[in-house]
Amino acid sequence: MARKLFGTDGIRGKANVEPMTAETALRVAMAAGHRFTRGDHRHLVVVGKDTRLSNYMIEPAMQAGFTAMGMDVVLVGPMPTPAVAMLTRSLRADLGVMISASHNLFEDNGIKLFGPDGYKLSDEVEEEIETLIEGGLLDHLAASNKLGRARRLDDARGRYIEFVKHSFPRGLRLDGLKVVVDCANGAAYKVAPTVFHELGADVIAMAIEPDGTNINKDCGATSTEALQQQVVAHGADLGVALDGDADRVILCDETGAVVDGDQVMAMIARSWQADGRIAGGGVVATVMSNLGLEKYLETIDLNLVRASVGDRYVLEKMRAGNFNLGGEQSGHLILSDYSTTGDGLIAALQVLAGLVAAGAPMSAFSHVFEPYPQLLKNVRVSDRSAMDAPAVKTAIAEAEAQLGGDGRVLIRPSGTEPLIRVMAEGLDEAVVTSVVDEIADAIAAVSA
């Protein structure tokens, strides 16, 4: 069965427009609550959110849905997505919910669900929930004396801060380092500066005044210009940019140059390989990660295993091959020794641990490999099957021939928008640009 509500990372859409309405949120909670009500114990769900305005609508709707099914609700307020995953396990809850549209602007929202093990739900479980939503949920309502209760967890923030700090090597400190932390006016606006401060860093915090509408606006991991400027202006050693729910991180060095997720994976892989901590014999990344990363990992006897775009697919490959490091070029890093999902703060601390040990400037430490020239172009289409048209296939074949064995072409439909993404990389930037343009033009012509 094809999923209708769930995409590559939960449910997402424009706030107060289907599927991100209070009614659908209520039904999702009722269906998920019923699916995860097993046994005679008192059932529990952890609900977190980011700082967007529509959470005042979505959170109470989901609370009503869960309590109607007899589940108790623990509300943790604005907290990073990985904090919800951690608390779900720590509290022995049956289910975890994060209400967030991640790096999107405030107009959007989303719902991410975690099982009792702290992992995001499988496609199969999401399909079961969709089936329940379409069925007769009213037949499964709790009896009047079995309704759930809701309460707030006052120490949720402190629990997560200590959890993150414990991922930093014992005996190391950040004393003497000046760090600019961009919290994206999002879920980590209180916890992130505290983590770096308590580990000894001199912290300049920015984007820490959420107003419901400024999450990810000109700040955060998808808009790093302000961070780069602040790092240079303050003479900081590095900058850390989180996204709205803090499950991804982008860094910049002391010169303001951006350090993406591929370089972050390379830094951590290098450190862990040297310490004998890397598991699985390599790293899991997506089809979007740069060829330069793959070539670098080969030099330190590690493999790069590629997964489909989406952290859930990275995690599936990691669990199947017993890898403990994986992620995306966008900065969504999964370090499974510590967390069941992407955690921007934990990833940043692993980089900082290596930086402190190396005693080098961030610009030298973070430039692990030379990226291959890479270009991505989005082509808006009326029908995503345009990518299978003969003319498009011919353009792709010609592009691959031009790039030869030192490059690659990747064509894939967007999972959330009417777009086909055209990506190519190779040794010659001019050739890369040319082949991307040719394929994009072929797709546009077919779709016109």
Q: Residue 74 maps to which CATH number?
A: 3.40.120.10
Is 361 a domain residue? no
pLDDT interval class at 447 (50, 70, 90): confident
Assess whether 174 and 273 both reside in one domain: no
Q: What is the pLDDT of residues 50-106, one digit of tens each?
A: 999 999 999 999 999 999 999 999 999 999 999 999 999 999 999 999 999 999 999
Q: What is the pLDDT of residues 123-167, one digit of tens each?
A: 899 999 999 998 878 788 999 999 999 999 999 999 999 999 999
Mean pLDDT of 264-287: 97
pLDDT interval class at 2 (50, 70, 90): low
Q: How far is CA 114 from its chain centroid?
A: 14
Asked whether the bond before 60 is cis by omega within 30 degrees of 0, the reply is no
Assess whether 194 and 311 both reside in one domain: no
Is 80 a domain residue? yes
Assess whether 243 and 173 both reside in one domain: yes
Assess whether 215 and 164 both reside in one domain: yes
Instruction: Look at the chain and count its residues.
Output: 448
Is 328 a domain residue? yes
Assess whether 141 and 272 both reside in one domain: no
Q: Is the pLDDT of residue 448 over 80?
A: no
Residue 278 region by backbone torsions, left for phi larger than 0, else alpha for psi between -120 and 50, else beta? beta
Is 368 a domain residue? no
Which residues participate in catalysis according to the annotation?
102
Assess whether 204 and 148 both reside in one domain: no
Report DSSP state, residue 286: E
Assess whether 149 and 163 both reside in one domain: no
Of the candidates 317, 304, 76, the one whose C-alpha atom is nearest the C-alpha of residue 188 is 76
Assess whether 81 and 120 both reside in one domain: yes
Q: Is the pLDDT of residue 176 over 60?
A: yes
* pLDDT given at position 416: 65
- As for how many domains the chain has, the answer is 4
Mean pLDDT of 271-292: 96
Domain with residue 401: its CATH number is 3.30.310.50
Asked which of 257, 277, 299 is the last residue of a domain, the reply is 257
* pLDDT given at position 266: 98
Assess whether 180 and 234 both reside in one domain: yes
Assess whether 388 and 443 both reside in one domain: yes
Q: Please state, in angstroms and as integers, the Cα–Cα distance from residue 373 to each residue in 290, 352, 429, following that order.
A: 9, 27, 5
Is 244 a domain residue? yes
Domain range enclosing 48 = 11-154
Asked which of 98, 129, 154 is the last residue of a domain, the reply is 154
Is 326 a domain residue? yes
Is 366 a domain residue? no
Cα–Cα distance, 244 to 40 (Å, whole number): 37
pLDDT interval class at 348 (50, 70, 90): very high
What is the per-residue DSSP string for 137-175? GGGGPPPGGG---EEE-TTHHHHHHHHHHTTSPTT---T
Assess whether 104 and 142 both reside in one domain: yes
Q: Is the pLDDT of residue 3 over 80?
A: no
Assess whether 386 and 423 both reside in one domain: yes
Region of poorest pLDDT, from 127-131, 290-294, 382-386: 382-386
Q: Is the pLDDT of residue 1 over 60?
A: no
pLDDT interval class at 326 (50, 70, 90): very high
Mean pLDDT of 309-320: 92
pLDDT interval class at 4 (50, 70, 90): confident
Of the candidates 245, 298, 305, the one whose C-alpha atom is nearest the C-alpha of residue 280 is 305
Asked which of 120, 135, 154 is the last residue of a domain, the reply is 154
The one-letter amino acid at 279: A
Radius of gyration from C-alpha coordinates of the chain: 22
Is 360 a domain residue? no
Report DSSP state, residue 384: G
